[in-house]
Amino acid sequence: MMMVTPTAAGEPAELVALFTMALSEHRAGRLAEAAVVYRQILALRPDQAEVCNNLGNVLADQGKLDEAAAQFERAVALNPALFQTYNNLANILRAQGKLGEAVVRFEQALALRPDFAEVRYNLGNVLLSQGKLAEATAQFEHAAILKPDFAEVHNNLGNILQGQGKLEQAVARYQRAAALKPDLAEAHNNLGNALKDLGKLTEATAQFEQAAVLKPNLAEIRFNLGNALLRQGKLDAAIAEFERAAALRPDFAEAHHSLGNALKDQGKLDEAAARFERALALRPDYAEAHYNRADLKTFRSHDADLARLESLAAASGLPPARCCSSTLRSQGARRHRRLSARL
C-alpha cells in the first residue's frame, strides 16, 4: 500500500501538528494510534483525500478490507488525481477476489502514471490470476523496462516462461532476480525447480537449500527440496524434508504422497500406506495417490506370495525362489511448487 503525505501548507498549526503525529505513528507501525489521529483530522477537515488514503492503508494493514476500500473510494472521489489510491484500492479488490474491478482500478492508476512500474507489476499479477498470460507478460516486461532492477518482476516472468516449457529462458530470469535480490527466497526456489526440470539436480538442491535458509517455514520450499533429494536417491534426507513440509502444512496432500513414495522405497510399507491414505483423505480425487496405494497393495501381496514360495522351497530342500519387483515412481515426485513474489 502507498502512503500519501498530506499538504500542510496554509493549514492551522493544530492541523499541521496532527498531520505530523499521524504520519509518525503510521510509519512506526502503531496502527491503532495512527487511525485515531487520522480520524481526528477528518473530523476537522473531511475533504482531506490524502488522509482518507492513509487511513485506508491503516485499515488494510489491520485486515479491515471493506472499511479500507470505503476510505480509498472516498479519497478518489475527493481527488481523482491520486494515482496511489487507485493502486491501493485495486490491491484491496484483488484481495477480495474482485479481479475484474481490480484491473479497472490499476488501469486508472496507469492512466495517471504510465511509468509506474509497481502498478504494472501488480496489474500483471492480477492478469496472471485471470489466466491472461500474454497480457500479464506484457505488463511484467514493461515494468522491467521501467525498473530494470525489479527482482520480483524477473521472478514472475520466469514463472511464465517455465510454465511455457522455456526452461533455459526461465533460468535466466530467476538468476537475474536472485542476483538483484539475494534474499528473495521465491527466486531461489523457482530457479531450483527449473534446474531440476533440466536434470541439474545438484544445482537445484543448492537453490532449494538457499531458499529454505531464507524462509525455513515455507512448506512448498521443503517439499521441492525433498523431491530433488528423492530423485538423487537420498531417501533419509528427502523424508526429513517431506515430514517438515507436512508438519508446516498438515493439509499438504502432495507432501504426504511424496513421503509415502520415499517410505515405500525404504521398504516401510505400513508407513507408506498411511501416508497415501492421508493424501487421499485430503484430496479424494488425487489420481496418483490412488494408483500408488493400489500399487503398494499389489507389491505387498507379491511379497506375501514370494514368502510362501520360499517357505515351500525350503521345506522341500530346493533353492530359494527369486524374483525382481519393479517399483513405479509416482509422477508426484516430479511435481513442484512455483512461488510468485508479492509486494
> Which grid coordinates belong to 213?
535458509
| Residue with grid cell 524462509, as numbered in its chain | 215
d(CA 120, CA 123): 5
**Looking at the predicted structure, is the pLDDT value of residue 29 above 50?**
yes
> Which grid coordinates belong to 264?
515405500
| pLDDT tens-digit readout, 230-239 | 999 999 999 9
d(CA 252, CA 228): 18
pLDDT > 70 in the chain, percent: 84
Q: What is the CB-side half-sphere exposure of residue 246 using CA atoms within 13 A?
A: 20
| pLDDT tens-digit readout, 154-188 | 999 999 999 999 999 999 999 999 999 999 999 99
Question: So what's the pLDDT on residue 13?
Answer: 78
> Which grid coordinates belong to 303?
511379497
Average pLDDT rounded to a whole number, residues 202-211:
98
DSSP-derived secondary structure for 231-269: HTT-HHHHHHHHHHHHHH-TT-HHHHHHHHHHHHHTT-H
Average pLDDT rounded to a whole number, residues 104-116:
97
Confidence class for position 343, pLDDT limits 50, 70, 90: very low
Q: What is the CB-side half-sphere exposure of residue 105 using CA atoms within 13 A?
A: 23
**Looking at the predicted structure, is the pLDDT value of residue 326 above 50?**
no
d(CA 163, CA 293): 29
Average pLDDT rounded to a whole number, residues 214-225:
97
Structural domains of the chain, with CATH: 1-79 (1.25.40.10), 232-314+329-337 (1.25.40.10)
**Looking at the predicted structure, is the pLDDT value of residue 322 above 50?**
no
Confidence class for position 328, pLDDT limits 50, 70, 90: very low
pTM: 0.82
**Looking at the predicted structure, is the pLDDT value of residue 312 above 60?**
no
| pLDDT tens-digit readout, 132-148 | 999 999 999 999 999 99
- Name the maximum alpha-carbon separation found in the chain: 107
d(CA 79, CA 230): 57
> Which grid coordinates belong to 85?
489510491
Average pLDDT rounded to a whole number, residues 277-299:
91
Question: So what's the pLDDT on residue 301?
Answer: 64
